[in-house]
């Protein structure tokens, strides 16, 4: 996967997608609320987006949908939203970790089949998608996309032919798919949410008057004025309909020995104003910063964060150390996915298009710079150099995660080991490469502590010990032609 070609190339990580679903039992149109929900989840994916809605009081199975490349506010105009009439719907924002970045791969996926219509939005990554796709292809399936979400949709549709309900079909499909997924599925009369048995990806339930919401993060509930009810539990399927409100089923899903929530939701992906599985993302990042200050202190004049995800951890470091917290960078917030990257010979300037150092804030000072991660190291090199060019006397880098040593197969865009700066290098080597005066990472043992001590997290990209057997070869981007 060629991450260097991505729009926001000064950030090192991407995560596959945000999902949102809504069902208004009073019959009101939901497209506009889904739009605002997706805007609040925009940080989870900027490549493409889409909305699919249906009118439960109209012709059964008729779905109106629209999806396109770009940001939510680029893709959807008031005129487009006006055409999306329906009281039940799902929405999606996408960042691809498998499958190319094309309009065909945008979600939600809408399937018309014998039993009616399904619309599906998926956050995560399957590790057995190639085998399932091969199996389906040899039984007559014709694929319209290169994403593993279509594999899930096909399996749900096939299982529905032999089951009494769509939620039972979802449960049957969950027995076949392996990996990370949070799903929001719209059938003609039901809204369904499902989370993989390990709980890799978040999914929450909310309510606004007589309207129910499913979303990747609680910040999306806040945006549409919905009250948080609870998280969808790992391995749980929730069905929302006027007949019974919210109905839960965990009876058909395989229960793993332990849960494995993606720790990077707390370090980087989720918005700091979200709460995931009872843990405040803001509090987790403050804790990470405090642990860095305890474990890797350094004498300095100011603590700064690399926007945006480094800011809260930097505040935590400052609170613990007593060193003043300050702002060293100005971020250009108006660079969207249409940003044209400089040519190869001017590649270094691409970081400065997104960030610029505040010379008056850092000149002559010893700076502690906090960032969420170092992947390849090229970005850290440029940001350290930016501070030095602005007159910083010393630059000490602290990272609110451990070193990346292994790839991720579950939806986080961590590349192959050979591309990771920490592979076959120690901390001193990395420090010299990025040009910092000192470098320290968050300790592995601190990860559990930052999320309360008993949550159950995945640390595979740091340790190489995955919660399930990874594929024998790196199949990420397998269909990315």
CATH number at residue 245: 3.60.20.10
| Dihedral in degrees, nearest 10, Cα atoms 267, 269, 273, 275 | -80
Residues 239 and 321 reside in one and the same domain: no
Compute the distance between CA of residue 123 and CA of residue 107 in angstroms, rounded to an integer.
Answer: 10
Write the CATH number for 377.
3.40.50.2020
pLDDT of residue 421: 94
Residue 268 in domain: no
Phi, psi of 297 (to 5 degrees): -70, 155
pLDDT of residue 33: 98
The number of folded domains in the chain is 2
Cβ-based neighbour number of residue 55 at 10 Å: 18
Residue 220 in domain: yes
Residue 470 in domain: no
Residue 55 in domain: yes
Compute the distance between CA of residue 316 and CA of residue 43 in angstroms, rounded to an integer.
Answer: 22
Compute the distance between CA of residue 84 and CA of residue 95 in angstroms, rounded to an integer.
Answer: 24
Q: 230 near 271, Cβ under 8 Å?
A: no
pLDDT of residue 15: 52
Residue 467: DSSP 8-state: S
pTM score, two decimals?
0.90
pLDDT of residue 252: 65
Known catalytic residue: 17? yes
Tracing tokens 């610029």 back to the chain, one arrives at 356
Domain ranges, residue 432: 275-463
Blockwise average pLDDT, block size 10, the chain, 481 residues? 33 69 98 98 93 93 92 95 97 72 82 89 90 78 76 90 93 92 95 96 97 98 98 96 92 76 94 97 98 98 94 98 96 59 49 85 97 90 95 98 92 82 95 97 97 92 92 52 24
Residues 227 and 300 reside in one and the same domain: no
Residues 242 and 285 reside in one and the same domain: no
Tell me whether residue 327 is exposed, middle or buried, using C-beta atoms within 10 angstroms of its C-beta: 0 to 12, 13 to 18, 19 or more. Answer: middle
Is 4 in a helix, a strand, or coil?
helix
Q: Is the peptide bond before 319 cis (omega within 30 degrees of 0)?
A: no
CA angle 336, 340, 345 (to 5 degrees): 140
Residues 298 and 246 reside in one and the same domain: no
Radius of gyration over alpha carbons of the chain, in Å?
Answer: 22
Q: Is the peptide bond before 308 cis (omega within 30 degrees of 0)?
A: yes
Residue 92 in domain: yes
Tracing tokens 């006027």 back to the chain, one arrives at 242
Is 50 in a helix, a strand, or coil?
strand
Q: Which of 17, 49, 211, 253 is catalytic?
A: 17
Joined together, the tokens standing for residue 32 give 């506009």
Residues 327 and 213 reside in one and the same domain: no
pLDDT of residue 474: 57
Last residue of some domain: 256, 286, 303?
A: 256
Residues in Cβ contact with 132 at an 8 Å cutoff, skipping those fewer than 6 apart:
126, 151, 155, 176, 177
């Amino acid at each position: 996967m060629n991450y260097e070609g991505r729009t926001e190339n000064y950030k090192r990580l991407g995560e596959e997608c945000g999902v949102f679903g809504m069902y208004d039992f009073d019959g009101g149109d939901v497209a506009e609320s889904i739009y605002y929900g997706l805007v609040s989840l925009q940080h989870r994916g900027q490549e493409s987006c889409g909305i699919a809605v249906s009118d439960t009081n109209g012709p059964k199975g008729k779905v109106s949908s629209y999806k396109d490349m770009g940001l939510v506010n680029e893709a959807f105009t008031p005129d487009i939203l006006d055409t999306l009439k329906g009281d039940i719907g799902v929405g999606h924002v996408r960042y691809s970790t498998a499958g190319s970045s094309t309009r065909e791969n945008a979600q939600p996926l809408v399937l018309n089949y014998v039993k009616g219509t399904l619309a599906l939005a998926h956050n995560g990554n399957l590790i057995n998608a190639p085998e399932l796709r091969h199996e389906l292809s040899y039984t007559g399936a014709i694929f319209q996309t290169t994403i593993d979400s279509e594999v899930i949709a096909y399996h749900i549709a096939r299982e529905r032919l032999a089951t009494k309900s769509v939620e039972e079909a979802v449960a049957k499909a969950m027995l076949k798919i392996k990996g990370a997924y949070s799903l929001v599925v719209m059938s003609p009369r039901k809204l369904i949410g499902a989370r993989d048995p390990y709980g890799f990806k978040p999914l929450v339930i909310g309510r606004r008057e007589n309207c129910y919401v499913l979303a990747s993060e609680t910040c999306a509930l806040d945006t549409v004025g919905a009250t948080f009810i609870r998280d969808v539990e790992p391995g749980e399927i929730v069905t929302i309909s006027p007949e019974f409100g919210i109905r839960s089923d965990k009876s058909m899903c395989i229960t793993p020995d332990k849960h494995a929530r993606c720790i990077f939701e707390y370090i980087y992906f989720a918005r700091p104003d979200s709460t995931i599985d009872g843990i405040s993302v803001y509090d987790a990042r403050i804790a990470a910063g405090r642990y860095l200050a305890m474990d890797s202190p350094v004498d300095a004049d100011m603590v700064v964060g690399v926007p945006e995800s480094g800011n809260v951890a930097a505040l935590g470091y400052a609170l613990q150390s007593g060193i003043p917290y300050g702002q060293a960078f100005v971020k250009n917030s108006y660079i969207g996915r249409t940003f044209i990257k400089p040519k190869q010979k001017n590649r270094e300037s691409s970081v400065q298009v997104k960030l610029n150092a505040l010379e008056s804030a850092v000149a002559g000072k010893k700076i502690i710079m906090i960032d969420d991660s170092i992947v390849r190291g090229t970005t850290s090199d440029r940001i350290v150099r930016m501070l030095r060019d602005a007159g910083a006397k010393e630059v000490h880098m602290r990272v609110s995660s451990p070193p990346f040593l292994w790839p991720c197969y579950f939806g986080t865009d961590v590349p192959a080991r050979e591309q990771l700066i920490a592979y076959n290098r120690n901390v001193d080597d990395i420090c010299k490469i990025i040009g910092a005066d000192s470098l320290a990472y968050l300790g592995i043992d601190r990860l559990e502590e930052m999320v309360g001590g008993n949550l159950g997290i995945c640390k595979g990209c740091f340790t190489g010990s995955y919660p399930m057997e990874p594929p024998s070869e790196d199949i990420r981007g397998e269909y990315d032609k």
